[in-house]
A and B are shown apart, each in its own frame.
Chain A
Amino acid sequence: GENVEQHPSTLSVQEGDSAVIKCTYSDSASNYFPWYKQELGKRPQLIIDIRSNVGEKKDQRIAVTLNKTAKHFSLHITETQPEDSAVYFCAASISGGSYIPTFGRGTSLIVHP
């Protein structure tokens, strides 16, 4: 089955700095890669996603890049703000058919004012 590795487990940055979280996946058939933000005591919320036919996607301060050859994808947050502090999860899945997404173990992002 699919295996998703996420690094780092903890990331501490100063407000205004950039943050990068990386995930690798094992199943080359995976073609959908969402990122979720989970604040303490709250539900995971989708912040951005990318499909395998696209190499990069941006949404304001957030971007995701995908390297299908190397089987890794990354979340980039620019101009970080204290409210970006949360746990971020990546996931990988195969679109269509039986849907079995695999999540990474999460990255705790701390943005210091």
Chain B
Amino acid sequence: ETGVTQSPTHLIKTRGQQVTLRCSSQSGHNTVSWYQQALGQGPQFIFQYYREEENGRGNFPPRFSGLQFPNYSSELNVNALELDDSALYLCASSLIGQGAWETQYFGPGT
């Protein structure tokens, strides 16, 4: 298993509410990416954070936002939840700056 952790494990919210998901990256990694995986689908890239700034964004509306902290952990915030937001949310950490920076290690998901 990777050293990437996510919290909470499971979450139930109501339409219109806001949610915050958290991710701790693997030791030594400086980049966190977030994905949405609907049932029976492949992961859809939401965004990536590197050095506390957004480093790429997929086709998701602005109500999906994120943060990265100095310790490289990250949060995913979703406002005004919609039914279609129901999914498994995965974070993945990687290391930019040493060769295969795209190699990502996934957390267990929320």
Chain A residues with CB under 8 Å of chain B are 1, 6, 32, 34, 36, 42-46, 49, 89, 91, 93, 95, 97-106
Binary A-proximity of B70-107 (CB < 8 A = 1, otherwise 0): 00000000000000000000100000000011111111
A105 nearest CB across to chain B (Å): 5
A99 pairs with B48, CB closer than 8 A? yes
- Tell me how many residues of B have a C-beta within 8 Å of chain A: 25
Residue of B at shortest CB range from A6?
Answer: B42
B66 sits at the interface (CB 8 A)? no
- Pick from A42, A95, A98, A105: contact of B55, CB under 8 Å: A98
B18 sits at the interface (CB 8 A)? no
Inter-chain contacts of B33 with A (CB < 8 A): 99, 101
In whole angstroms, how far apart are the Cα atoms of A106 and B101 in the complex? 23
- Pick from B2, B45, B105, B106: contact of A102, CB under 8 Å: B45
Main secondary structure of the interface of B (DSSP, over half): loop
In whole angstroms, how far apart are the Cα atoms of A1 and B56 in the complex? 13
Inter-chain contacts of B104 with A (CB < 8 A): 34, 46
B106 pairs with A45, CB closer than 8 A? yes
Please report the number of residue pairs spanning A and B whose Cβ atoms sit closer than 8 angstroms. Answer: 59
Contact A103/B44 with A43-B106, A43-B108, A95-B102 known, Cβ cut-off 8 Å = yes
Contact A42/B102 with A89-B43, A101-B45 known, Cβ cut-off 8 Å = no
A106 pairs with B56, CB closer than 8 A? no
Contact A100/B56 with A43-B108, A43-B109, A44-B43 known, Cβ cut-off 8 Å = yes
Inter-chain contacts of A106 with B (CB < 8 A): 40-42
B58 sits at the interface (CB 8 A)? yes
A46 pairs with B90, CB closer than 8 A? no
B56 pairs with A98, CB closer than 8 A? yes
In whole angstroms, how far apart are the Cα atoms of A23 and B31 in the complex? 27
A102 nearest CB across to chain B (Å): 7
B57 sits at the interface (CB 8 A)? yes
> What would 11 A/B residue contacts be, using CB atoms closer than 8 Å?
A34-B102, A42-B108, A43-B106, A49-B102, A98-B56, A100-B56, A101-B33, A102-B45, A105-B42, A106-B40, A106-B42
